[in-house]
Amino acid sequence: MLQESFDKKDVLQAAEDFEQALPYSEENVRLVKEALQLYRQDAVYGVKAKSFFQAAAYVQDQEPVPCQVLVNLLHVSSGTCSCKDEGICRHIIAAFLYIYAHYQPIGTFVDLWKEKPANLLFSDKQQASFSLETLEGWLSFFQVEFERWEERTPARQQTMQSLYYGYLSAIKKQQPQKEELKGLYQIHTALATWKAMHTLIDKERVDPKRDFYSLNPYVEQLMDTILSSLSQMQAYAISFSLDPFLEKTTGVLRELLLKKRHFYYERVFIYEELWRSILNRPKWIKAEMAALEPVLEKDDYIEPDLGLLFLHILQKNDDLVLERVKGFKPAVFPFVLHWLAEITRRNEWKRLSKWYGQLGGIAEDYCGENLPYRELRSTVSDFFELLQKYTEQTADNKMFEHFCRKCLPYTFTEYSYFLFDKGRYTEWVEIHSMIGFSISELERDLLKEVGKSAPEALIPSYHREIAHLLRFRNRSVYKEAVRNLKKLKTLYKKAKRVEIWDQYIIRLSKQHKRLRAFQEELRKGKLIDG
């Protein structure tokens, strides 16, 4: 750790030495501003102590190759950098700021420029004081920081990566003093960055279709920030002092919801999560519904409709929601799962009975969508995870099997386990055959269990496997066929149908009498006489 590498007195003395080496001037103020910007963009990394007074670091500026920096705490002017600038450059200062921040707040370093107020290091827009103890203050601060980021970042460099590591990093480093506000502040930094991304899309700085795979990881990280902060907030009782912040958060969240088209599933998901967890107050829900209703009358995109329906679910207006869902396209099914998860979380099993009783159509239609198998399977798997919890509580096996049939082949795994657990072995074997599994591909332990309890269930599958093998003409296949014939003979004995076996093996031998190698294997296996 850096705190153990350097003496604090040396670090603080180095800060004063930087002040002496860089007396106040417009040029030096600009230099420190640029260094501060690099530090806040997390451009400094790989910092290591080379001795008790020297540190090496990398600073990623606008060039593809990072600058290699050496900071000298005892003689700051002796620091070196691989950039072309002479003397103390912004990269050396940025690396020192990284070290300094481990010992003192960065603001203390800024205050060393005695000749002018500390806010000379910031733009005029930042000179306005923002209170981080009010939501209005947060939003104003976010807006000013975004405008600063736009001003200092060339249009061609205004990417999601730059927004995430520049803008978001800058606003996350400022946070309220009150402990109970910090989690909510982190949520708002993620929301602000998400909305800023849509601003870049609107300005055509970012192309969501072309850049989808570069945007998606950052959207997922923003979601992770929101969800992890929610978990931290819910770990303790939420103070009533947060109510003014939470009530005004509804408008910020609605603004993100009403962004059109791009990442609509993720936006609706976060909207619902925040309403479910920390905004679920009858008064606020009523006000939000009133705010969304006019939007539905003007636009036909789905986000406000889904948001409104989720609010109805929180108020248990299930009949209204289920009726409305009938008019939706099957693609809405993943959102329905989120609603089912909310009701399941509340252990409201009677309520779920109504839901599952009316969802068969949309579930079946969704499985018929022209989507990649993996995507359909993933959604169906999530659905059955919820359905399994319902079945365990209600013993409604008919409902479970109903959906297994409706959603085949994507429910093969769930349905096969269900049939096996219920001892319906014939159907269990049939479903494997329907999907295309051969008897040799089934688990041996399961086959043994079926062979003991219902040997007749396996007989047709072994017949099919043997017929399939005999289409090929080589001795190794004949050996495999004989191994299966022996198993088939055992099954006929257990089923007490030996006479049928005798007829079958005689007929099979005559049918393939010209296959000498096969005849030899039959005799070796003692399945026919020599």
65 lies in a domain?
A: yes
User: Which residues span the domain enclosing 513?
Assistant: 452-524
Percent of the chain with pLDDT over 70: 95
Mean pLDDT of 164-169: 86
User: What is the pairing mode between strands 54-59 and 44-49?
Assistant: antiparallel
- Which domain-ending residue is among 122, 152, 185? 122
Dist. CA 316–CA 232, nearest whole Å: 27
476 lies in a domain?
A: yes
Q: In what order do the strands lie in the sheet with 67-72?
A: 44-49, 54-59, 67-72, 80-81
Q: pLDDT-derived band of residue 118, with 50, 70 and 90 as boundaries?
A: very low
Give the CA distances from residue 359 to residues 219, 308, 325, 340, 370, in Å, rounded to whole numbers and listed in that order.
30, 19, 9, 11, 20
- In the structure encoding, which two tokens stand for residue 45, read together? 């990394």
Q: What pLDDT sits at residue 283?
A: 95
221 lies in a domain?
A: no
**Which position has the token pair 């080496």?**
21
Q: What pLDDT sits at residue 318?
A: 94
Q: What pLDDT sits at residue 220?
A: 94
Is pLDDT at 322 greater than 90 in this prediction?
yes
pLDDT, tens only, 343-383: 999 999 999 999 999 988 899 999 999 999 999 999 999 99
Q: What pLDDT sits at residue 129?
A: 54
Mean pLDDT of 468-491: 92
Give the CA distances from residue 318 to residues 272, 293, 324, 434, 449, in Å, rounded to whole numbers and listed in that order.
16, 18, 10, 38, 44
Q: Is the dihedral of CA 285, 286, 292, 296 positive or negative?
A: positive
Dist. CA 146–CA 143, nearest whole Å: 5
Cβ contact 386:399 at 8 Å: no
- Which domain-ending residue is among 55, 87, 122? 122
Our count of domains for the chain comes to: 2
Q: What pLDDT sits at residue 297?
A: 64
Mean pLDDT of 292-306: 81
Q: What pLDDT sits at residue 125?
A: 44
Percent of the chain with pLDDT over 90: 56
Q: pLDDT-derived band of residue 53, with 50, 70 and 90 as boundaries?
A: confident
pLDDT, tens only, 395-418: 999 999 999 999 999 999 999 999
Residue 68 β-bridge partners: 58
- In the structure encoding, which two tokens stand for residue 71, read together? 């900071």
pLDDT, tens only, 487-499: 999 999 999 999 9
Cβ partners under 8 Å of residue 86, min gap 6: none
Helix (H, G, I), strand (E, B) or coil at 58: strand
118 lies in a domain?
A: yes
Q: What pLDDT sits at residue 224?
A: 95
57 lies in a domain?
A: yes
Is pLDDT at 128 greater than 60 in this prediction?
no
Cβ contact 403:360 at 8 Å: yes
Q: What pLDDT sits at residue 8?
A: 86
Q: What pLDDT sits at residue 130?
A: 64
Mean pLDDT of 459-479: 90
Q: What pLDDT sits at residue 126?
A: 46
Helix (H, G, I), strand (E, B) or coil at 57: strand
Q: Residue 489 corresponds to which amino acid? A: K
- Which domain-ending residue is among 81, 103, 122? 122
Q: pLDDT-derived band of residue 127, with 50, 70 and 90 as boundaries?
A: very low
Helix (H, G, I), strand (E, B) or coil at 59: strand
129 lies in a domain?
A: no
**pTM exceeding the 0.75 threshold for the entire prediction:** no
85 lies in a domain?
A: yes
Cβ contact 121:113 at 8 Å: yes
205 lies in a domain?
A: no
